[in-house]
């Protein structure tokens, strides 16, 4: 089985557990495809054999977390900065399981008031950030370059790009239209909206665990 190995706190627990099960002999014939250098290093440390999409273009299953989930199982991911590789690998999956706690559920994408990341090339990033802001000016958009720490150097992704975080005061409307508008901007590499990709959602809450399938 080929597994997509996500990035973040939820994925970290999953990767560690997969390594434990492999070591105990309860899992066999597993190949992992990591979505970040951080996950790559963790997977190697727990003994998971690794590959990539060039060798395994079809992935059986991915398990990952999300930063926001709307009622239609659309996601915001990538606040850890790995959105491009996450989207490539999880988009190649037959099944994509998302595990969150109920605090990540929102009425609409951007509804948490937290960042929706956009990966951009470093060249003239200010120009790109301003064009992104203007796309969603009616939604009260604020565009901020992500930095390492308070006032530090620009955060650099595994692909040597920057992240512009978008914050919205209002609903941005049709997500497919929003996605298309973002991706049409020269200088944009990818955005953190994962639309129609999740096949199963597992939500942990005070009253227990709920499972929703597409």
Burial 42-67 (b: 16+ CB within 10 A, else e): bbeebebeeeebeebeebeebbbbbb
Alpha-carbon distance of 71 to 55, in angstroms, equals 35
175-183 helix and 125-135 helix, angle to the nearest 10 degrees: 160
Q: How many helices (H) and strands (E) does the chain have?
A: 5, 13
3-state helix, strand, coil in the chain (%, to 5): 30, 30, 45
Q: Annotated catalytic residue: which of 86, 90, 119, 190? A: 86
Distance (Å, rounded) from C-alpha 187 to C-alpha 121?
Answer: 5
* 53 token code pair: 């999409």
Order the strands of the 68-69 sheet from edge to edge. Answer: 68-69, 75-76, 193-194
Is residue 169 part of the annotated active site? The answer reads: no
| Residues assigned a catalytic role | 86
């Amino acid at each position: 089985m080929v597994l997509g190995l996500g990035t973040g706190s939820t994925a970290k627990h999953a990767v560690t557990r997969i390594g434990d099960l492999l070591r105990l002999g309860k899992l066999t014939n597993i190949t992992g495809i990591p979505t970040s250098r951080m996950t790559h290093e963790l997977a190697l440390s727990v003994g998971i054999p690794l590959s990539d999409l060039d060798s395994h273009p079809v992935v059986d299953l991915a398990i990952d977390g999300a930063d926001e989930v709307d009622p239609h199982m659309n996601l915001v991911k990538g606040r850890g900065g790995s959105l491009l590789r996450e989207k490539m690998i999880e988009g190649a999956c037959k099944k994509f399981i998302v595990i969150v706690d109920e605090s990540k559920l929102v009425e609409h994408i951007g509804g948490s008031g937290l960042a929706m990341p956009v990966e951009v090339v470093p060249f003239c990033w200010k120009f790109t950030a301003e064009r992104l802001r203007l796309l969603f000016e009616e939604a009260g958009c604020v565009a901020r370059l992500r930095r390492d720490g308070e006032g530090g150097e620009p955060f650099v992704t595994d692909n040597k790009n920057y992240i512009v975080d978008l914050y919205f005061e209002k609903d941005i409307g049709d997500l497919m239209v929003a996605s298309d508008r973002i991706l049409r901007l020269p200088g944009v590499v990818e955005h953190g909206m994962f639309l129609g990709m999740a096949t199963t959602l597992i939500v942990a809450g005070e009253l227990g665990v709920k499972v929703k399938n597409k």
